[in-house]
Structure 1
Amino acid sequence: MNSSESLRRQCTCLLPLAGWLLTCSVHAQNAPTQSDFGGAGLLQTPTARMADEGEVGFTASRTSPYTRYNFTLQPLPWLEGSFRYINIANRLYGPSSLSGDQSLKDKSIDAKVRLWRESHYLPAVSVGIRDLGGTGLFSSEYVVASKRFGPIDASLGMAWGYMGNRGDIGNPFSILSDKFDTRPGRGNNPGGQFNSHNYFRGRTALFGGISYQTPWQPLILKLEYEGNDYKHEPSSNNQPQRTPINIGAVYRLNRNVDFSLALERGRVAMFGFTLHTNLAQSSGPTKLLDPPLPDRADKPPTQTPQQVDWTAVSKQLRDNAGIEVSKISRRGREVVVTGEQQRYFYPAKALGRTARVLDNQLAPGTDWYTVVSTREGLPIVATSVHRQRFDELLNYDIDLRDFRRSVEQNPPLPQREDVLYRAEPKKFSGNLAVGYAQSLGGPDAFILYQVYANYDANFHFTPNLWWSGNFSANLLNNYDHFKYDAPSNLPRVRTYVREYLTSSRLTMPVFQLTASRRLGTDLYGLLYGGMLESMYGGVGGEVLYRPMGERWAIGVDANWVKQRGFDQDFSFRRYHVATGHVTGYFDLGYKDVTLALSYGRYLAGDRGATIDVSRQFHNGVRMGAYATFTNVSAKQFGEGSFDKGIYLSIPFDLMLPSSHTSSANILWQPLLRDGGARLAKRYNLYDLTSDRDSDPLQDNLQKITE
């Protein structure tokens, strides 16, 4: 994930996702309820429970003086991650000259790991950290166990830090070292650093409680004992507490919406709601707007490949199978269709429709149908299906498991062939779209937003040489309130956001020429030059080695760029830099987890590495996180200390009644700063060659009949 894709925002809009969660029908009734802080829990405290992998949830809760907005991801069965904004209503963000009368905001990231599952005799046990890399205002660590007894789910844990502020129990780790006796002062972190000097230090307190599933299925009751006495709140914001016992209820309106109500501290009401669903189990709505499947011929066709009207077939392949055909050829008893997929996210769906179209045209004598997938003129993968076995699958003579052996994927190689049809290259394409971006939780305003219209245009001189343009109209925004310039000791390579978003209503973020080339069987190259993104123009190139059938790839990119003028026209500022990276991509062979490691020079001239870990589910949903560490100190970097973020990618195919090849990308980046900033390139070879990964085809092979 390229962190600099967030030029317009620190956090891409979560509202569209929240709306989708509200209407999504994926079964999530058995998901554990969320705590006030997000993540599986009771009220103020967590439990050891984990949701099913692929679960996501958005929780908002209000307990005076705190309002919490939490987003929770379950990328792995044993790992839960959350990020959060807390609004502290009775404290100001800062001096009025900076933030006016805006209330204080705090951001944090949490993680919880399950050590072992519940068994017949033993409880589930998890360990977690709240605010593991923030200011530390609400930082806490805990160990918690949960055991189910029929309709009652009981939890008991021990907490350090905020959740254990009562401090009525000594620290068990003191037997290892007396450094665990004292916890350093809270809130002395400039923000963004890992608070490792605090972890599991200081006195502790017990917490726990029960949740009771009532005979009325939608209602769950909660009783909780918390370890915080509210006498040590951040910013001396201490709160009275009549009792450490909290009571509450959750009403599950439907499979995806929960409402919570509680009495906390013996005196304060809490109200909250949670929107949740399981993205990994989602198959998307019925594709009512897709073209119908090609009718199967009543009688076997009698045309040989030389007799077929391939111009008409090419049009049908484009309209029904989504392939923009460049050529159709014959190799013995095999017909090969070469082209770029422009409609279907899942390769199997396009392959099945292609086979149906060809089957209706060709007489017996053709045994294999092959689709050579291309992207921007680059041949990526050749996928072949056996004609007779596909027909047997459609007739229910064999099942998918037997059919799977008759589908092959290979690197496209030059072979002797008879070209039956060569398409006239499509020169121009354009697309108009309206977008929305926002930043949350900054000192200037809680929400900074922009509504814009984009027109994307492409003109291909040849299949491997093309011009790309992006023209944007700023329809509505409030970034003129954005005054905070994120002071640091680095060149301002990213923090001129306000200037770039407000200097002109009509801008040209992209105006570039790109050339692609396959340099070898598994080697690809790109060259590009022009206005490469909204803030930088220049020249650059990339090379990627990605062996077919392997779970690794390695790429190198090098660029010389100059900072653009704020109007995003053809003008430049004085700052220029050479930047580039070596990146290794590794499929770890566990749960489709991919690790990307990059090392190189960033836009501010700092050098270092980016670690990106993500998990892709079978339906194409991806959850991930990244962190960048450079030779810039936390003091030089400024607030945030280092660049990091959490992201989520959801195929539009899972949200819309028509098929789409692209995805909605949601990035939560706590702070946009100058350190660790990368060039936001329009194209990168790893994405362009994504079809070299055979997992999406194999994981969704059932779609070959759709």
Structure 2
Amino acid sequence: MRRSRLTRQLMATTLPLALIAGAGIAVADPMLGRTMSSYGLPGGIDTPTAETLPDGSLGATVSLSDYARRANIFFQALPGLTTVLRYGRVDGIDDFREEGFISDRSLDLRYQIVDEDGWRPAVAIGLQDFLGTGVYSGEYIVATRNVTPTVRASVGLGWGTLAGKPRVIDVDDLGGTPNVDQWFRGGAKPFASVSWQVNDRLNLTAEYSNDIYLARYSNDRDVQQGDEPSSKLNLGASYRIGRNYEAGIYTIGGKTIGAQFTIALNPRDAAFPSGLEKAPAPVRPRVSPAQDPEGWSGSWSQDPTAQPAIQKALGDAMAKEGQRLESMALTATRAEVRLRNQRYINQAEAVGRTARLMTRALPPSVETFVITSTTDGMATSSVTMRRSDVERLENTEAGQIAAASTLSDAAQTAGLVQTPDLYPRFRWSVRPYVEVSIFDAEDGLTSEFGAEARASYEIMPGLIATGALRQRVFGDIGQRGPGIPGARGTYYDPDFYADTPSLESSPLGVPRVRSDTRMYTGNSNPVIPELTLAWYAKPAEAVYSRVTVGLLERGYGGVSAEALWKPATSPLGFGAEINHVRKRDFDQLFDFRDYEVTTGHLSAYYEFSQGITGQLDVGRYLAGDVGATVTLSREFANGWQVGAFVTKTDLSAEEFGEGSFDKGVKFSIPISWGTGQPSRDRVANSLRSLSRDGGSRVEVDGRLYDRVRESHTVDLYEGWGKFWR
């Protein structure tokens, strides 16, 4: 299709110049958005801008109008990269349910190529709804600049929906694949917006938009019913409530009124930035040799009662700090303690507090401190430092003690004495639980609430029995069979499905390993989501192993074995896992169904800068399909973790079904971030737009990489600023 002269000029000059400028200029402090658009990105009302969010921001926006209802989850993945996962309801057009609306899931990406600098505006390029059905599909190039300290203007070129030319919804498209052939096609039109920051809380916005808010299917069966906006001018006002909330109202075309609400969280903007934990015990400098000649001479080490007394005193002091002294080796000049961190989200804080306590508990002749981190009975790394450096650097920045310390793999140490009465150890808890389902095209937002009792029994170092019992109290996630082939929107009766094993395979021969997940929900009786016995070991210096048997997750039970090679000082790691599992019965007790499978993966891990970790898993999945999963995640110094994953296997798009392949996002937020109280507990979840059978893995708790990485180079030093906390 022939482009207009204006479009050709902008594509030939503005975009290449912006890309060249972006390649040579570091974005140190991006232009931050003042308001959120109805699409869940910084912008006007419906049009985009070149603004970004504070790095690492995670939040949600809900917008409602007669034209659309949208729920967006956004994440500032990198300083210049903004991502949005969206669930939208579009009224006035039917799908197979014939309810007068369609439900749509879509994904957006926006990258700020350059930030504002002098005369040069900030410039961004974006892809809107590039993985969905295309109802919101569009691409854009936009520039934003501050006109005055309170007035900001944006102008850009848009394609697709942004040009008033909505992409046609392909009735044969299963979704989930990029519509690359449509990018920057179909002719472009300009859009613009102006925002006025009236004060710290109130912002007024006006925009020029070409969106006509109409969609249709490729077979012309259904065309969206409704009126186009009578005007291309939209107006809006937003009001910021506190640090994390924003409410707004807007008009589209001068007559349709909409409302919007946003919640935004940032890992660097905690409610209690300094935390509410008690201050650590101060370092105790050693007295002079003249004041304690016996302590400096080391003769105390010949007394057989010395180490037990020192170990008990140090263990008691560490317990008050939330640490567990697993074992200790002590000579006249060197002490190694093996600690399990049970309180702090940053391992560096546990190491630093232990170092302080060692200065208070050990005789003055002990100059070398070795602090070895452990998890599940495995020693994961050792930090070696001189006591004199701890004394000298206590009141300096944490980087100085990091430079004076050495991190290494934990070696086998002679003379380790296990702290008495640590094993066996029984722990239990009872707490509420909540399950939330988001982006389900059939049900929208659903939830379940109940109580969960959880217990663990550490029989000996590395041998741990774990179990949980759940009782549903209320919720609207009900038991439901999978969809009936050829009759979209209808489902098998749960009792009929449970009594007919032949249905546990799709008409194309794909086993139903996840598409019948709703059969495991809605139980009014107690259920056992997990009951396992796990054995963790460290057979070699940088090699870890795990074997887990039992009810591994709510859907499968069996045996899982894993090995991991991960040196403490290397960003690279390799792992292998094999599982032989059988499908559990839907009551989640002790019975099993007929389906049985062996799965396995080879994995590679690499930790990049800025807390970004890449993971590649290649192998066989639950449905017997073979393929690979790529995961990118980012962790911040305070423990926030956000990531995305994509899986492609040898199942065709038709065999996989709607969505074409598996993909989703995951997040994990430490409880301590919101409460200020030290805790290792987290709120974590994974969001998939669809639950399908292809690319599914067994969900085994305690996989090795996440267990050991927090005390290794990248993760340990990411939080090293907490060493002196």
Shorter-chain-normalised TM-score: which range?
A: 0.7 to 0.9
Q: Is the 8 A contact 1:137 1:186 kept in 2?
A: no
Residue 134 of structure 1 aligns with which residue? 132
C-alpha displacement of 1:602: 0.5
Q: Report the AA paired with residue 563 of structure 2.
A: V
**CA 435–518 in structure 1, closer or farther in 2 if over 3 Å, else same:** same
SS state of the match for residue 479, structure 1?
A: coil
TM superposition shift of 1:486: 7.7
In the alignment, the residues of structure 2 paired with residue 678 and residue 573 of structure 1 have an alpha-carbon distance, to the nearest angstrom, of 18
Change (3 A) 1:562 1:599: same
Instruction: Confirm or deny that 1:74 pairs with 2:76.
Output: yes
Which position in structure 2 is the counterpart of 1:582? 602
- Displacement, 1:604? 0.6
- Aligned residue number for residue 453 of structure 1: 451
Q: Which residue of 2 aligns with 1:16?
A: none
Alignment match, 2:151: 152
Q: What does residue 194 of structure 1 align with?
A: 178
The answer to whether 1:293 aligns with 2:313 is no
Kept in 2: contact 1:433–1:455 (CA 8 A): yes
Higher RCO (CA 8 Å, separation ≥ 6 residues): 1
Deviation at 1:688, TM superposition (A): 1.5
Give the Cα separation in 2 of the matches to 1:88 and 1:245. 21
- 2:630 is paired with a residue whose SS is strand
What are the Cα deviations for residues 345-389 of structure 1, in whole angstroms up to 9, with x where unaligned?
Answer: 112221222123222222311113322111111110112333222
Q: Whole-Å Cα distance in 1 between the matches of residues 578 and 473 of structure 2?
A: 35
CA–CA distance in structure 2, aligned partners of residues 454 and 217 of structure 1 = 44
Shifted more, 572-581 versus 80-89: the winner is 80-89
- Mapped to 1, the partners of 2:194 and 2:171 lie a distance apart of 32
- 1:102-117 alignment, distance < 5 Å: 104-117=102-115
Residue 620 of structure 1 is aligned with which of 635, 639, 662?
A: 639
* Alignment TM-score, normalising by the size of structure 1: 0.87
Distance 1:232 1:702, change over 3 A: closer
- For 1:468 and 1:55, how far apart are their aligned partners in 2? 35
How far does residue 134 in structure 1 lie from its aligned partner after superposition?
Answer: 1.2
1:607 and 2:606 aligned = no
Which runs of 5 or more structure 2 residues have no equivalent in the other structure? 1-29, 218-222, 486-505
| Contact 1:221 1:248 (8 Å CA) reproduced | yes
- For 2:80 and 2:185, locate their aligned partners in 1 and report how far apart those are by CA, in whole Å: 25
Does residue 474 in structure 1 map to residue 472 in structure 2?
yes
Q: Return the alpha-carbon distance in structure 2 between the equivalents of residues 555 and 286 of structure 1.
A: 37
Equivalent in the alignment of 2:265 = 277
* C-alpha distance in structure 2 between counterparts of 1:388 and 1:318, whole Å: 21
Within the alignment, does 1:226 sit opposite 2:172 as a pair? Answer: no
Query: What is the one-letter code of the residue matched to 2:120?
Result: L
**In the alignment, is the contact (CA less than 8 A) between 2:284 and 2:391 conserved in 1?**
no
* 1-structure distance, mates of 2:263, 2:350: 33
Superposed displacement of residue 102, structure 1 = 8.8
Question: Which residues in structure 2 correspond to 1:31-180 (within 5 Å)?
Answer: 31-90=33-92, 94-95=96-97, 104-150=102-148, 151-165=150-164
User: What's the CA shift string for 1:658-679, capped at 9, x where partnerless?
Assistant: 2112322132210111111000
C-alpha distance 674-459 of structure 1, shift in aligned 2 (>3 A): same
> What code does the residue aligned with 1:552 have?
L
The equivalent residue for 2:17 is: none
CA–CA distance in structure 2, aligned partners of residues 141 and 65 of structure 1: 20
CA RMSD of aligned residues (A): 2.7
Take 1:162 and 1:142, find their aligned partners in 2: how far apart are those partners?
A: 10
Q: 1:196 offset after TM fit, Å? A: 2.2
Give per-residue Cα distances to partners, 1:182-241, cap 9 Å, x unaligned: x66556532222222322221222111211223x33222212111223355674134231
SS of the residue corresponding to residue 502 of structure 1 reads coil
Cα gap change, 1:424 to 1:621, in 2 (>3 Å): closer
Shift of 1:443: 4.8
Instruction: Report the identity percentage.
Output: 28
Partner of 2:490: none
Q: What does the per-residue CA deviation read over 1:146-178, in whole Å, with 9 as the maximum and x for residues that have no partner?
A: 2222232221111111121259xxxxxxxxxxx
The letter for the 1-side match of 2:173 is N
Superimposed CA distance per residue, residues 608-662 of structure 1 (whole angstroms, 9 cap, x where no aligned partner): 1101111222222122110100111111111111110012222222122321123
Kindly indicate whether the alpha-carbon contact (under 8 Å) linking 1:293 and 1:320 is maintained by their aligned counterparts in 2.
no
Cα distance in 1, alignment partners of residues 322 and 397 from structure 2: 26
1:102–1:443: 8 Å Cα contact kept in structure 2? no
- Structure 2 partner of 1:246: 234
Change beyond 3 A, Cα 1:624–1:424: closer
Could you tell me how far apart the structure 1 residues matched to 2:418 and 2:697 are? 45
The one of 643, 661, 668 equivalent to 2:680 is 661
Q: How far is the alpha carbon of 1:270 from its aligned partner?
A: 2.0
What is the CA-CA distance between 1:281 and the residue it aligns to? 4.7
Q: How does 1:527-546 map to 2 (within 5 A)?
A: 527-546=547-566
Q: Distance in 2 between matches of 1:526 and 1:511?
A: 16
Kept in 1, the 8 Å contact 2:318–2:357? The answer is no
SS of corresponding position for 2:231: coil
1:236-278 deviations in whole A, cap 9, x for unaligned? 1342311101122222233322222222112111221222232
1:348 aligns to what SS in structure 2? helix
Contact 1:317 1:325 in 2 (8 A): no
SS at match of 1:447: strand
Aligned to 1:6: none
d(CA) in 2 for partners of 1:316 and 1:136? 62
Tell me if structure 1 keeps the 8 A contact 2:329–2:414.
no
SS in 2 for 1:705: coil
Contact 1:259–1:274 under 8 Å retained in 2: yes
Aligned to 1:694: 713
- The alignment partner of 2:722 has SS state of helix
Contact preservation (8 Å) 1:154, 1:208 = yes
Summarize the Cα distance change of 1:484–1:225 in structure 2 as closer, same or farther, 3 Å threshold: farther
TM-superposed CA distance for 1:518, in Å, is: 1.0
Which segment is superposed worse, 238-247 or 114-123? 114-123
- The amino acid that maps onto 2:661 is F
Alignment CA distance shift 1:573-1:419 (3 Å): closer
CA shift in 2, pair 1:521/1:119, >3 Å = same
Per-residue deviation, residues 57-90 of structure 1 (Å, max 9, x unmatched): 3212122132211111101012100011212355
Change in CA separation of 1:474 and 1:253 when aligned onto 2, cut-off 3 Å: closer
SS in structure 2 opposite 1:355? helix
Q: Distance in 1 between matches of 2:325 and 2:407?
A: 19
Distance 1:253 1:559, change over 3 A: closer
Relative to structure 1, the CA distance from residue 399 to residue 253 in structure 2 (aligned partners, 3 Å threshold; closer, same or farther) is closer
SS of 1:197's equivalent in the other structure is helix
Provide the secondary structure at the position in 2 that maps to 1:258. Answer: strand
**Rounded Cα–Cα distance in structure 1 between residues aligned with 2:49 and 2:31:** 18
1:47–1:146 CA contact under 8 A, matched in 2 = yes
Give the equivalent residue in structure 2 for 1:649.
Answer: 668
Q: Which amino acid aligns with 1:50?
A: T
Query: 2:557 aligns to what SS in structure 1?
Result: strand
Alignment partners' CA distance in 2, 1:409 and 1:299: 25
Partners of 1:287 and 1:658 within 8 A in 2: yes
After superposition, residues 412-423 of structure 1 pair within 5 angstroms as 412-417=410-415, 419=417, 421-423=419-421
TM-score normalised per structure 2: 0.85
AA at the equivalent of 2:154: S
CA–CA distance in structure 1, aligned partners of residues 318 and 389 of structure 2: 24
* Partner SS, residue 349 of structure 1: helix
CA distance 1:334–1:237, change in 2 (3 Å) = farther
Query: What is the match of residue 382 of structure 1?
Result: 382
Looking at structure 1, the residues matched to 81 and 116 of structure 2 have their Cα atoms a distance apart, in angstroms, of 15
Q: Residues 62 and 616 from structure 1, CA distance in 2 versus in 1: closer, same or farther, beyond 3 angstroms?
A: same
Distance in 2 (CA, whole Å) between partners of 1:119 and 1:687 is 41
Do 1:326 and 1:423's aligned partners in 2 also have CA atoms closer than 8 Å?
A: no
Question: How many angstroms apart in 2 are the aligned matches of 1:685 and 1:486?
Answer: 39
1:430 pairs with 2:428: yes
SS in 2 for 1:562: strand
Query: Cα gap change, 1:354/1:645 in structure 2, threshold over 3 Å: closer, same or farther?
Result: same
